[in-house]
Amino acid sequence: MQRRRGTPGLAWRAGPLALLLVLAGCGQAGPSASVPAETGPAESAVPSTTPEAAVESLRAGMVGDESTLNPYTYVTGFPGWNLLMLQYDSLLQFDVNGEPQPWLASGYEVSADGLTYTVTLVDGVTWNDGTPFTADDVKFTVDYFQANTQSRFTRDLSGVASVTVDAPNKVTITLTSPNPSFPIRALADVPIIPKHIWESVTTPAEATFDSPTNVGTGPYKLVEYVADQSYRFVANETYFRGAPAVKELVLVQYADEAGIVAALRTGDVQAGFRSISPEQVEALAAAPGIDVAQGPEFTTQMLYFDVTKAPFDQLAVRQAISLAIDRQDMVNTVYLGKGTVGNSGWTHPSSPFFNAAVATTTDVARANALLDEAGLTDSNGDGIREFDGNPMSFELLAPSDNPLRLRLAELSREMLAQIGIDAVVTSIERDTLVNRVWPDFDVSKGRDYEMSIFGWSAPVQVDPAQITALVASDPAVGSINIAGFKNAEADRLSGEILVEGDPTRRKDLLGQLQALVADQVPFVMLLYPDGNYAYNADAYDGWAFIAGQGVVNKLSFLQPDSRP
């Protein structure tokens, strides 16, 4: 993390993201792989050192309403999931480098065939209503999410064949097939819910704030919710990793970023739970008492096209579009340098799975030559090429509520004009755009667009195997293949990646798929924005920037010695 402030201050940066490699030995002959019980934070609920004095209350600004914050009612990936996980815990927890570490689990072992995870739980954990947490809760959680499929966590657990309780603090999770991403996608993502509460909830999507479904093991409990106005959390003083560093957390809802920025300046809030726009960074960092925590996030900004439609079904057209896009110019112009240039192979350059051999280049002359060679010429001299007698003029969708994406669309239009492609920017309401690009969030239902600026939240990059979801032709695998891309080699590589347990071989397969994406161009990866979070350091300065995720996480509110 890097901190910016108008007055002299400390600056630091975490090392590159080091995603958890598949456990050594998974899928190989020999001893089973394991994460020993002593790995990560101490198993005891007692902190190892004397904690710093806790902050009595902290007010933070957020945009929008996330409903009642249980696993079936929170609204969005950010900040909904982040706020949800203030109340709940998962078996593993990402540390600041983005690596899953033991949390509710004190350790786990994986069988040599990669099918069985034996998980040992931390002793002495209680739910925030005082009920003991046991292995029965873990089994119940898996069974409940599999039975009640309205939650996204059902997807994370879809490959689980069974869960057995071996002891009050031990469970065995058996998969239907090897899944090297299981620690990242399930153990570090799925909130464990209390059996004694949820076993009587038959319609989880209708659970209200007044129901007891906000009982968790996490560092906070939601005690007050006023729709479209605010949330109030109070600290779980008996939290098994130690009492939180902030006793009360009040979240105030604003209509947009401007409201949060104004509230920060007046002192109505002491932190912003939304990454601020690049143009706001320098101004806020210069304001008295305000710091800006900056670091890499793995959200993506992308240029998509429907590859099932002419002329985007022609490889030369897609390659020319990619070559015409000056990604560095986009980072500099739209994000004022606060971002990372997109890798044409998709994977973030900070990932250990990044294939450095994949080149990302801008070459307008080569782009024009490719289109000329494909016979796509400007026959009437109006500056726009033709295909099948039609001008290469296409609608480029951009969300009306996102000025950065709108600017990316405008720059894309200018860059594509250099190669004779007319991109007509159409600003439309976000939900309308999503429904045209990704109807009902189901790629099997097709799509209704030509080009669009789109992107994905950080978890899509955190799991390196998620590249398969963007390119596999089978909707069960390519669940976010909104381009309609089909390629036999991509399907073959995707199938191998999803089950390959050998870390070296899996990294090689991921590198091959990145090279294929760069060559076949099912989409254009534009850039990865940085996260920029403004806060009043005099009010609270304990923020933990998790690589790829930002500061809105439970680690930010725990004492330093309680973090993994």
pLDDT band at 38 (very low <50, low <70, confident <90, very high): very low
Q: Is there a domain that residue 287 lies in?
A: no
Alpha carbon 496 to chain centroid distance?
23
Regarding whether 133 and 43 lie in a shared domain, the answer is: yes
275: phi then psi, degrees, rounded to nearest 5: -65, 125
- Best-predicted range by mean pLDDT (19-28, 269-278, 481-490, 546-555): 481-490
Regarding whether 432 and 396 lie in a shared domain, the answer is: yes
Q: Is there a domain that residue 246 lies in?
A: no
Regarding whether 160 and 36 lie in a shared domain, the answer is: yes
Q: What residues contact 496, with CB distance under 8 A and at least 6 apart?
A: 509
Per-residue confidence (pLDDT) for residue 59, from 0 to 100: 98
Regarding whether 327 and 179 lie in a shared domain, the answer is: no
Is the pLDDT at 25 greater than 80? The verdict is no
Q: Quickly tell me which residue has 């002891």 as its tokens.
A: 167
Regarding whether 409 and 474 lie in a shared domain, the answer is: yes
**Cα–Cα dist 86/82, whole Å:** 7
**Cα–Cα dist 446/456, whole Å:** 19
Collapsing DSSP states into helix, strand and coil, what is residue 512?
Answer: helix
Beta carbons of 116 and 174 less than 8 angstroms apart? yes
Regarding whether 436 and 379 lie in a shared domain, the answer is: yes
Is the pLDDT at 212 greater than 90? The verdict is no
**Cα–Cα dist 420/383, whole Å:** 6
- The mean pLDDT value of the chain amounts to 89
Q: Quickly tell me which residue has 């990294």 as its tokens.
A: 507
Q: Is there a domain that residue 51 lies in?
A: yes
User: Which position has the higher pLDDT, 375 or 430?
Assistant: 375
Beta carbons of 529 and 276 less than 8 angstroms apart? no
In CATH, what number is assigned to the domain containing residue 36?
Answer: 3.90.76.10
Domain of residue 408 covers: 301-529
Q: Is there a domain that residue 236 lies in?
A: no
Regarding whether 314 and 175 lie in a shared domain, the answer is: no
In CATH, what number is assigned to the domain containing residue 333?
Answer: 3.10.105.10
Regarding whether 553 and 442 lie in a shared domain, the answer is: no
pLDDT, mean of residues 280-294: 91
User: Which position has the higher pLDDT, 423 or 461?
Assistant: 423
pLDDT, mean of residues 262-284: 93
Regarding whether 551 and 504 lie in a shared domain, the answer is: no
Nearest to 288 by CA among 268, 270, 269, 265: 265
**How many domains is the chain partitioned into structurally?**
2
Q: Is there a domain that residue 288 lies in?
A: no
**Cα–Cα dist 233/510, whole Å:** 41
pLDDT band at 350 (very low <50, low <70, confident <90, very high): confident
- Full DSSP string of 1-32: -EEEESS------PPPP-PPPPPTTTTSSSSP
What is the amino acid identity at position 247?
Answer: K
Regarding whether 411 and 382 lie in a shared domain, the answer is: yes
Q: Is 446 left (phi over 0), alpha (psi -120 to 50) or beta?
A: left
Q: Is there a domain that residue 472 lies in?
A: yes
Q: Is there a domain that residue 281 lies in?
A: no
Is the pLDDT at 354 greater than 60? The verdict is yes
Is the pLDDT at 8 greater than 50? The verdict is no
Q: Is there a domain that residue 337 lies in?
A: yes
Regarding whether 210 and 72 lie in a shared domain, the answer is: yes
Regarding whether 543 and 443 lie in a shared domain, the answer is: no
